[in-house]
A and B are shown apart, each in its own frame.
Chain A
Amino acid sequence: MIYWELFVGFLKVGLFSFGGGYAAIPLIRDVVMSYGWLSEDMLTYMIAVSESTPGPIMVNLATYVGISQGGMAGALVATFAAVLPAFFIIIGIIVFLQHLLTNPYVNAVLQGMKSCVTGIILATGVHMVSKNCLPADGGSPVPDLRAVVVTAVLAGVYFGLRAWGKKKLSPIQLIGISAVVGMIVYR
């Protein structure tokens, strides 16, 4: 049943998304792809929408996937499941486990997971960029020159301004710029 699948899928996301918003993206991608809930493009669009609308990215994505699969009820189930682990873990820490986080064994486990999630995020980003630039056309990847150039320009502006400029672009600003560039280049 779809509500049960949404519940279990997003409970897993909520339970393992250490390290804030972006850490949840590979996990959500995993769940969404394995159930075939959204296309890869649609998921990428929704990541951008979630980044540009108020609220945590994970909650926004859970709400959207829930709506797309099960309407209003699906959205409630997915969002509830995504938030549930964080909610009870925080209350658990306040009530019984004040010293849990200073326990060296717990710390070893957490440190291992955080390092791993960092690798997973980097690999997901690299995979998304290379898939955009090298779309597989009937099996073998063919370079999409337009995407390569636009990606290089956007990355150059984003990282260049931070390294050498006085201004820093926020993610929302980069999304805005990329939208304008997209309208011009893909016209």
Chain B
Amino acid sequence: MTSLTDLFFTFMQIGMFTFGGGYAMISVVENACVENRHWITHDDMMNITVIAESTPGPIAINCATYVGYKQRGLAGAIAATVGMILPSFLVIYLISRFLDDFLEIAWIAHAFQGIKLAVGILIIDAGVKMVRQMPAKALPRVILVCSFAAMVVIEILALRVSSIALLLVAAVVSLAVYVVCGNVDKGAAV
């Protein structure tokens, strides 16, 4: 039987070496949990990827919880998830202690002024990638354009509307179209 410490330390290693999170870490988990330790099968791994895409939260956390639970139930899920989070928690904790002092140093402040410009580009890039992965149907596209427009208006007018409100409206609209048209594919393919 897999020990809790084994789960904890395996996911701690994964957490320590996956930068940026997201899909980069799926292959790391696959390597550690499928090939090296045979904790889960390749099919399980595919299953996790699909589940992770449709559930909120970081993929890394979804993977750790899934593998931990499959191995040792609730205790295993906690051990794996805490192991996964611990390295980044400690790294950010250390950085937070020094960051304000670092930003007082002129050349570091200048570097961050450059970095600030890169972050906007990276976020647009992430959005464009998600657009490419969207199903080529009318309804998702309409929702995409409307939510983009709504968000731009909210930003420009500095309205106090939470993006969670937009998400809920989109969920209701999408569900309503499905209920009314029966089949989203048919209803939206016009």
Contacts and interface: CB of A to CB of B under 8 A. Distances in A.
Interface of A: 12, 14-27, 30, 34, 41, 44-45, 47-60, 63-64, 67-68, 72, 75, 79, 82-83, 85-87, 89-91, 93-94, 101, 104-105, 108-129, 132, 147, 150-151, 154-155, 158-159, 170-172, 174-175, 177-183, 185-187
Contact of A112 (B84, B85, B118, B174): B174
B59 interface: yes
A87 B56 contact: no
Contacts of A185: 110, 114
B115 A55 contact: no
Size category of the binding interface on chain B: 35 or more
19 contacts: A16-B163, A44-B116, A48-B116, A51-B19, A55-B15, A60-B88, A86-B55, A86-B57, A87-B77, A94-B66, A104-B184, A111-B184, A114-B140, A119-B146, A128-B120, A128-B123, A159-B125, A181-B114, A182-B113
Contacts of B60: 55-56, 59
> What secondary structure prevails in chain A residues at the interface with B?
helix
A186 B92 CA distance: 26
B140 A115 contact: yes
Contacts of A93: 51, 55
Given A108-B177, A122-B128, A126-B124, A27 B164 contact: yes
Contacts of B18: 54-55
A34 B160 contact: yes
